[in-house]
Amino acid sequence: MRQKTPFILLLAALVSLSALMPERAEAQPPPAKHRITYNANVAARYNPLGLFLFGDVSFTERLYRSRNVLLAQNHVSIGVAPQLSPGFARVGAKLEVQPLSIFKVWAAYDYGAWFGTFNFMQSFPSANSDWSDTAHRELDDSPNPNDHAFLSKGRTLTLGAQFQIKVGNIALRNIFRAEMSHWEHRPGDRIIYTSIHDVPVIADGGWLLVNDLDLFYFFNETGWLIAGRYNWTRAIYNDDAYTPEEIAANVPREKNHMHRLGPGVGYTFKSRGPGFQDPMLVLFLNWYAKHRFRTGEDVHGAIPYVAIAYLMKGDLLRRN
């Protein structure tokens, strides 16, 4: 195993990273063989607006026993993963496999609905359509009720991978997600916009790619940290994303990619036993380097993306 360790460290440092905080990388005793675990996160966001409660409760089984820092935190888990917001509710099943402390993959499949509140859900004829904040407000203020946000039910498949590494006080983490969804939409429309990822996707089976790369510096035992984040988001479009008229006229096709980056700060509170481990409060300020409507076209480019989140996790039950 010693000969492979440098390769694993290098791989983890180079591959792209995910959510809001990496788990501690110091050597730890192995977790219990059988556990019921939970993750619960409350987040608020500005530009675009959002308020979210999401997490999971899972049956978690340790794969093997090890005290090696690269191997100790391993498991396979299956559970339920709810998401709740004033604008939507989703719930589904989640399967996660973590073979190494620095790497895990997961898959989730959920059903849900957007309630038609706060200008969501909206659908559009094409990826070239105006889906800006102003356009959403104008549609919801329209005298024609058919223009208003509507109740939409749908389902989403999410595939994810996370790599993380910590050396001294510095940690690097990358979270990658690929989502494929089906949502109800207006007849004739091809694209739906939801505020979760802030880009429109094909309504029937459209794919979305999201990557978060985070760099952290921990201030020893004070609990404080500073961070930097780079987010890249891209919807995958084909001819289904554009109208036949746009295709026939060879109209330029909007890709609706997004890039944003900026600093963050966080604080880790003291654990209160296995049921309340390392709760964190984090704040990120990001500025858009590329966005169709948030670099001056609709929202001034100086206005940042602001996200604050409180993250909790723990073991509800543990047994060897």
Quote the CA–CA distance of 19 and 10 in Å, as a whole number.
21
The model's pLDDT over 119-129, given as tens digits with 9 standing for 90+, comes to 889 999 999 99
Domain boundaries, the chain: 5-319
Quick check: pTM over 0.75?
yes
Q: Name the residue among 201, 305, 178, 303 with its Cα closest to residue 256.
A: 201
CB-hemisphere CA count at 13 Å for 15?
17
Residue 19 has pLDDT above 50, yes or no: no
Which residues face 311 on adjacent strands?
41, 280
**Cβ atoms of 203 and 241 closer than 8 Å:** no
DSSP 254-295: P---EEEEEEEEEEEPPP-STTS---EEEEEEEEEEE-SSTT
H, E, C per residue of 32-52: CCEEEEEEEEEEEEECCCEEE
**Mean pLDDT, the chain, integer:** 91
| Residue 3 CA, distance from chain mean position | 34
Tell me the percentage of the chain whose pLDDT exceeds 70: 91
Average pLDDT over residues 264-273: 93
Q: What whole-number distance in Å separates Cα of residue 79 and Cα of residue 200?
A: 29
pLDDT-derived band at 111, boundaries 50, 70, 90: very high
Binning pLDDT at 50, 70 and 90, where does residue 166 land? Answer: very high
CATH topology of domain 5-319: Porin (2.40.160)
CA–CA dist 108, 85 (Å, integer):
18
The alpha-carbon radius of gyration of the chain (Å, integer) is: 21
Burial (CB count <10 Å: 0-12, 13-18, 19+), residue 208? buried
Please count the residues of the chain: 320
Cβ atoms 40, 20 nearer than 8 A: no
Q: Which ranges of 197-320 does DSSP label H, i.e. alpha helix?
A: 244-248
- pLDDT surpasses 90 at 221: no
